[in-house]
Structure formats: C-alpha cells, structure tokens
Amino acid sequence: MGLIIDYTSLQAAATEWLARDQDATLIARIPSFIQLCEAKLNRGLFVRQMEQRSSATLSFGVTDAEFVLLPPDFQSMRRVRLSSVTGKPNLTFKSGTQMDEYRASNGDATGQPQFFTIFGSEMELVPTPDQAYTLEMVYRTVIPPLASNATNWLLQFAPDLYLYGALLESAPYIQQDDRINTWGLGFKTALDGLNNLGLTSTFNAGPMNMRITGVTP
C-alpha cells in the first residue's frame, strides 16, 4: 500500500484494505463512506485545528443592521468580542427570547452590542450597532471535505483516522466481516488520541489548579 497523502490515495487504500476489488458496487461507495466518516468527525472531533478566527465590520443605520452573516465553514461559536473597542469586551450569549425581551425593555435603542444569538446562518446582536464596530469571532469550523479538496489538514495529520473511519462506514455492506471490530477499535483509538492531544495542546499539558472564590491561597 502506498502513502495516504490525498483523496485519491485514501480511496485506493480503502479499496486495498477492503480486499474486495471485484465488488464494483462496494468500491463505488467508498466516496460515500469517506463523506459519512467526515460527518461523524465533525460531530466528535475537538482539536485546535478546527478553530478559526474571523473579523467583520458591522453595518449601522441600515435595515437589519443587527444581523451578521456567519462564515460558510461555521459550526459553533467559541468567543465573540468587539475588537475595535477599548478592552475588547466579549459579547454574552442570549436565547432568541431573551434577546427580544432585552429589546423590548430598552425600546430597541441602538448602542454598543453586548449580547448575541445564532439563527441559522446569521448572528443577531443586541443592541443594534450604532456605529461601524469591528467584530472578532473565534469559532469551530467544519473539516474541509475531501470531495471538494484534494487533501486537508486532517488527512495530512491523521490518515489512520480517515482510513479506519471510512472502512467502518462500510459495515452495513460487508455485514458480518470479522474486520469490523478491528476497524472500530482503530477508529476509536485514533479519535480518542487526537481529542486527548487537542486537550493537551490547548492547556499546554499543565495541571489545572482549582481555587475557591474568597479563599486566599
């Protein structure tokens, strides 16, 4: 088996590992297995490489100025702040109902945004911006799909995770194949290893010290 370096070589490796190159129907479904693997990883993989920072200048004085379009690769929000304001204050999440209640309580006055919520592909801010603030967000992205990219950072970093994941998704077709348990274990081991590495790199492998408020160490 050659090196797994891109989408094409990943499909070739999956074909070889399945060892059913005469089964044209199964082989034709390998791209779907890879797609299903990516969907699972988007839900279960948490590493720093999936975090992205993006900035936008807020509109004001126009219709729907309180709404900001989210990046196309957005999955979930980590942090939002006004980077153009002294101290770069963070915005606090509120539910849609809480946002409506806040608007009603202050007469829907414009001002410096303090809160945000997410609706579909947009983020809503309250108060509605009264000037062109610069908004900075740190968010969790989706993995760049191999169906539209020759390769991506995850395939370069963890080809084993992709391979075992794709093989595991073939289980409904190959059914009682004894290799399924091996592939499942390989996928879980690789996924857990990456998530643990993500925690280590995020917290710099240092111990987290707990401190009770009001108690002097």
Percent of residues, the chain, with pLDDT higher than 70: 91
Please say if the pLDDT value at position 192 is more than 90.
Answer: yes
Mean pLDDT of 27-32: 95
Please say if the pLDDT value at position 209 is more than 70.
Answer: no
> How does residue 108 score in pLDDT terms, banded at 50, 70 and 90?
very high
Model-level pTM?
Answer: 0.81
DSSP the chain: -----SHHHHHHHHHHHHT-TT-HHHHHTHHHHHHHHHHHHHHH---GGGEEEEEEEPP-SSTTTTEEEPPTTEEEEEEEEETTSTT-PBPEE--HHHHHHHHHHTTT--BS--EEEEETTEEEEESPBSS-PEEEEEEEEPPPPTTSSS--HHHHH-HHHHHHHHHHHTHHHH-S-THHHHHHHHHHHHHHHHHHHHHHHHTTTPPPPP--TT---
Task: State residue 204's pLDDT score.
Answer: 55
Please say if the pLDDT value at position 207 is more than 70.
Answer: no
